[in-house]
């Protein structure tokens, strides 16, 4: 079973979707008359905080890169862990149609939690507070993000992004040549799902549902009384068609039972 190639890019999509939540954060500066004099879109990049702190300390000399400007945000994936609280039956499957209309069989996805850290680096405390206040109200403590997990079968799910903790650090120590960096670190957890390979199936679409209703719970002695049957209308409708249902009730006074293997009353 292992060795069958498949790649749905679910972890990559989760990382990209997490980053898009924070790529339109702005800060504004005002003068003494409360007139806006600047509107800055805060840059966002993927990478560890330590790399950006090292960039801050670099001096703009001819033979070195220019020092990084603030404010700035960075994020990175910090962990990935199986979530047993959302576990489903590992042998349970469901059927769906791919983009070409072919019937596919898919095993239930495996729940995993992906940890993220969002770092906010600013020079002024007011800049940091503006950014933080544009983020926190949306997490109570989670924010649902819809992600197209598997493109081939159109599988979309709401992924809760949970805010776990917030920490604050002020590195304003040292001599006058040391640049100040206010750092807010926000920890998040994305509760996503990982899908296995998508396989073909020879099973057809379910076009008939039949339920027998008995007079008691002990089927060994209880007699069936009614049968409820449902079929699609029209009978040859496909899963993506606009169709209705035909419902039929049948009543019995015999002692027969329906055999699924022989598909008849015996």
> Looking at residue 252, what is its pLDDT?
85
pLDDT digits (tens, 9 = 90+) for 161-187: 999 999 988 766 555 555 667 899 999
The answer on 229 and 139 residing in a single domain is no
> Looking at residue 54, what is its pLDDT?
59
pLDDT digits (tens, 9 = 90+) for 41-70: 999 998 876 665 655 555 555 455 545 578
Contact 14, 159 (CB under 8 A): yes
For 50, the 3-state DSSP assignment is: helix
Residue 142 belongs to a domain: yes
Residue 253: give the domain boundaries: 209-265
The answer on 105 and 27 residing in a single domain is yes
Q: Give how many domains the chain has, as a whole number.
A: 2
The answer on 48 and 171 residing in a single domain is yes
> Looking at residue 115, what is its pLDDT?
97
Interatomic CA distance for residues 25 and 122, integer angstroms: 13
| Residues 6+ positions from 117 with CB-CB distance below 8 Å | 49, 75, 76, 78, 185, 186, 187, 188
> Looking at residue 191, what is its pLDDT?
96
> Looking at residue 62, what is its pLDDT?
44
> Looking at residue 50, what is its pLDDT?
64
The answer on 234 and 142 residing in a single domain is no
| Residues 6+ positions from 73 with CB-CB distance below 8 Å | 22, 25, 42, 43, 44, 45, 118, 119, 120, 121, 131
> Which ranges of the chain have pLDDT less than 70?
1, 49-68, 95, 97, 99-101, 171-180, 201-205, 219, 239-240
Residue 2 belongs to a domain: no
Residue 242 belongs to a domain: yes
Residue 261 belongs to a domain: yes
- Looking up tokens 């008849």, which residue turns up? 264
């Amino acid at each position: 079973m292992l060795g069958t190639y498949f790649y749905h890019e679910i972890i990559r999509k989760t990382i990209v979707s997490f980053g898009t939540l924070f790529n339109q954060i702005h800060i504004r500066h005002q003068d003494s008359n409360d007139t806006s004099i600047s509107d800055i879109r805060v840059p966002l990049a993927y990478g560890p905080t330590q790399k950006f702190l090292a960039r801050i300390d670099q001096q703009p000399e001819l033979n070195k890169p220019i020092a990084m400007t603030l404010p700035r945000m960075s994020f990175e994936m910090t962990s990935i862990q199986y979530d047993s609280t959302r576990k489903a039956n590992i042998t349970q499957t469901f059927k769906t149609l791919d983009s070409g209309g072919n019937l596919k069989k898919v095993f239930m996805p495996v729940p995993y939690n992906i940890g993220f850290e969002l770092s906010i680096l600013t020079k002024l405390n007011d800049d940091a507070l503006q950014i933080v206040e544009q983020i926190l109200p949306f997490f109570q403590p989670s924010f649902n993000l819809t992600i197209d997990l598997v493109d081939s079968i159109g599988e979309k799910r709401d992924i809760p992004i949970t805010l776990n903790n917030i920490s604050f650090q002020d590195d304003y120590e040292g001599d006058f040549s040391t640049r100040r960096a206010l750092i807010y670190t926000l920890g998040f957890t994305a509760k996503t799902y990982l899908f296995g390979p998508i396989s073909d199936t020879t099973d057809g679409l379910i076009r008939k549902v039949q339920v027998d209703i008995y007079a008691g719970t002990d089927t060994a002695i209880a007699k069936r009384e009614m049968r409820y049957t449902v079929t699609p209308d029209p009978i040859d409708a496909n899963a993506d068609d606009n169709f209705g249902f035909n419902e039929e009730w049948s009543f019995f006074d015999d002692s027969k039972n329906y055999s699924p293997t022989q598909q008849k009353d015996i």
